[in-house]
Amino acid sequence: MSELRRERREGHELWLLDRPARRNAIGLGLLEELEQARREAIERGTTTVVLGALGPVFCAGFDLDDLRGLGVDSGHLPSSPLHDFLDRFEPPAFTLITAIQGPAYGGGVEVALLGDVRIAAPDTTFLLPPARLGIVYPQRGLRRLRAALGPSLLRAMLTTALPASADQIHRVGALWALDPDPLAAACALAARVASLPAHARLANATALLDLPNPGAS
């Protein structure tokens, strides 16, 4: 049974995480479907994708059952298959818009913030639990999170393991908008974005990756 719903719409594709029994945690099966969707989108020349989720939780991160098989007991989260997948979005092959409805936890925060544009429901929360779990994230995951959230908010989230509100995330510029129906808003925006020259969108997004991080020390 598929754990990822996919639709081809005019000008863009829609991907929906569909694993509500596991709070849309990304296990190896769902990860394989996401990678297949990514490859096929590139092969079709898709230039805009909306990523959302079904159910009350956006994404509970990497499935803990799979994490236990990756040596997390050592205290350092190894280079997980989820991070390998997220790495493949750099440089971007298409514009990604994330529609975030419901809580995002751990790696689910990375998935939510992977979008070039991110729209969240006002009651969405973002939680990074490594202090609670007793693990240390890979540096490349921390780099992505710092680029989106800035060093101060990220350090506070990692230190306290307390949820940040959508308003907090929006105030640091990590969200494009707050909307009670983020999926509808994301799809409407995708239709507009898809009409813009893809080469310019992607080239500018790629160029940003080479700029120094102003929050780095």
Lateral strand order in the sheet of 177-178: 4-9, 12-17, 48-53, 95-100, 117-120, 177-178
How far apart are the C-alpha atoms of 40 and 68, rounded to whole Å? 30
pLDDT at 217 over 60: no
Structural domain that includes position 79: 4-209
The per-residue pLDDT for 208 is: 92
* Segment 33-87, tens digit of pLDDT: 999 999 999 999 999 999 999 999 999 998 878 766 665 555 566 567 888 999 9
Question: Is 100 inside any structural domain?
Answer: yes
Question: Is 114 inside any structural domain?
Answer: yes
List Cα–Cα distances, 213 to 55, 76, 93, in angstroms: 35, 24, 22
- The percent of residues in the chain predicted with pLDDT above 90, rounded, is 80
CB atoms within 10 A of CB 84: 12
The per-residue pLDDT for 191 is: 95
Q: Are 103 and 124 in contact (CB under 8 A)?
A: yes
Which domain CATH number covers 146?
Answer: 3.90.226.10
Locus of tokens 């995951």: 141
Question: Is 183 inside any structural domain?
Answer: yes
pLDDT at 211 over 50: yes
Number of structural domains found in the chain: 1
